Structures are given as C-alpha cells and as structure tokens.
Amino acid sequence: MSHVFLPPDLDRLWNILEENPGALLYAGGTDLLVRLRQNPLKPPSLVCLERIEELHGVRERGEEVFIGACATHTGLLADAIIRDNFPVLVKGLACLGSPPIRNMGTIGGNICTASPAGDALPPLYTLDAGLEIRSRNSSRRMALTDFILGPGKTSLQQGEILAGVWLNRHPPFAIHHFEKVGQRNALAISLVSLAALLTVSAPGIIERVRLAWGSVAPTVATSAAVEAMLTGRPLSRETMDSAIPLIGDAISPISDTRATARYRRTVAGNLLLRLIEVDRRCK
C-alpha cells in the first residue's frame, strides 16, 4: 500500500519530499498509475501535484510565456495566450490521448514521462522550450533538450520538481505544423510524428525552419543538417527529396508491435513532403 499525499502548496511539498524519500510524483496520473498497476512493487508513497496552485496556469512575463507544469492539455488548448503564440503546440496537444486523458494529463507530466512518443514534445523542441526546475532551496533553468536523457529518463534529481515551461513569445515563424501518424485517430501512440515551424518568402524560398520528429529515436529527434539543407532553398518536391536522405542520420527508430523501423524511417521522410501542401494552404 502506498500513502498518497496531496500537498496544497510548495512548502508542504518540500516537507513531504524530505520526510518520504523514494516517493513518486505524479500530476494527471495517466502514465504513472498505469505503470504502477502493471508493477507488483508498490512505492512507499505517492505525491499528487495537482492541487499546488503555483504549478498551474499560463503567465506572460515580458517576452516570455510561463506554463505551469500542472497545466492540463485541455486547459492549454483553451488558453488564449497559447492559441495566439504557439499553434504548433495546440496542434500537438489536440491529438494527444483522448478528451478525458487531456482533461487529466499535464504538460509537465508529458515532459517528465519522457516518452519518445509524447505528443507535446516535438512542438516544444521546435519552440526551444526552457524548463524551470525547483527544489526547496533552488530554482534553475535548463533546455528541454538537455533535460530528457532517454526513454523515461530525465535529469531531475531527488528533491527536485519540474515547475514549468518557458517559451519565447511570438516565435518568428509563419507556419506551425504538426502531424502524427498512428493506428487510429484517438488514443493512439504515435508511430511517427513531425512538428515543423516554417517561414517561406513570397517567391517560395524557405527562410527559416525548425523540425522535430517523435517516436523515431530514444528521444525526440532534431536535425541541424536537414534544417541547413532546407534553408534558402525553394519549398519544392526537389528540395525535400534531397533533404530526406539526411533524416536517416538523425533518427534511430526501433521495430515494435506497432510498426517496423523501416516503416518509421520511410514515414519520417514522407512527413516532410506535407510541408509543401501546408504552405500552399496558407496562401
């Protein structure tokens, strides 16, 4: 049996964490409680973060936006600041799980679960998300790319929590795109996903581009080589065909019950072709 704590504020949380080493933290419970049910070893205690007011909400701070780690996906989908500034994140969250999963699951949980298939993650990688890590006596910022170390592995230390996500307001991209390929539309783990931020000049030249793929490597995959190859070239089938072979160096997909590695490689490339269509629709 595990004792479940429900601290109402951070001060109470720090006390609980000090007095209960080995406690596991959760917010929405949509990942941890599923894993615990499959695992006969129960942790001595669980700490649910959902009542901690400081970890909720979306706040504008100068040129940045702070998203509390316990903000639910449903809450973010309805938030005006998020909708105005980060359509790529909205598109990713809209296809995460299902309505009740989005009502319960949180952005902080999606990050700390560190699944290669987490649907919030590719958008956050393209947006250069920074994370606020807090403990009783310290608060530090680190890049999301440095925080996630591998499947289920983060650099969070004992006594620390992820307090929230920092994003730059007005990311300088005209096109925000997210596409997920799964076995069905709802409740499907993504087989491959692509988040893309793009600015295309009037004559059709790619001026700036950021790309991040989900489910094709132990963590979200990015490729400076592909981005460099695309920048300054026309957004065309020929350009994409020349960039697609470079994706292979950035990804290392596995074969599992849902798809083969070869299928994932092919789809990771083909998803780039969609950008041509998306750009046409924006005109």
Partner 1 sequence: MKISFLLNNREIELDVPSDRRVVDLLREDLALTGTKEGCGAGECGACTILVNGKSRLSCLMLAAQLEGCSVTTIEGLSPGDALHPVQEAFIEHGAVQCGFCTPGMVIAAVDLLRRTPDPDRPAIRRGLSGNLCRCTGYQKIIDAVEDTSRRRGKGKAS
Interface residues with partner 1 (CB under 8 A)?
1-6, 28-30, 33-34, 37, 42, 46, 48, 50, 74, 97-101, 103-104, 185-187
Task: For the CB of residue 85, give the shortest distance to partner 1 in the complex, in Å.
Answer: 23
Nearer to partner 1, 103 or 270 (CB): 103
Task: For the CB of residue 276, give the shortest distance to partner 1 in the complex, in Å.
Answer: 26
CA atoms within 13 A on the CB side of 226: 23
Nearer to partner 1, 36 or 278 (CB): 36
| DSSP label at residue 162 | E
**Euclidean distance between CA atoms 58 and 40, whole angstroms:** 37
| DSSP label at residue 157 | P
Cβ distance 39 to 46 under 8 Å? no
CA atoms within 13 A on the CB side of 228: 4
- Among positive and negative, which fits the CA dihedral 51, 57, 61, 66? positive
Task: For the CB of residue 202, give the shortest distance to partner 1 in the complex, in Å.
Answer: 34
Let me know the angle formed at the C-alpha of 93 by 104 and 34, rounded to the nearest 5 degrees.
Answer: 40
Nearer to partner 1, 99 or 150 (CB): 99
Task: For the CB of residue 5, give the shortest distance to partner 1 in the complex, in Å.
Answer: 7
Task: For the CB of residue 47, give the shortest distance to partner 1 in the complex, in Å.
Answer: 10
Nearer to partner 1, 74 or 145 (CB): 74
Nearer to partner 1, 187 or 282 (CB): 187
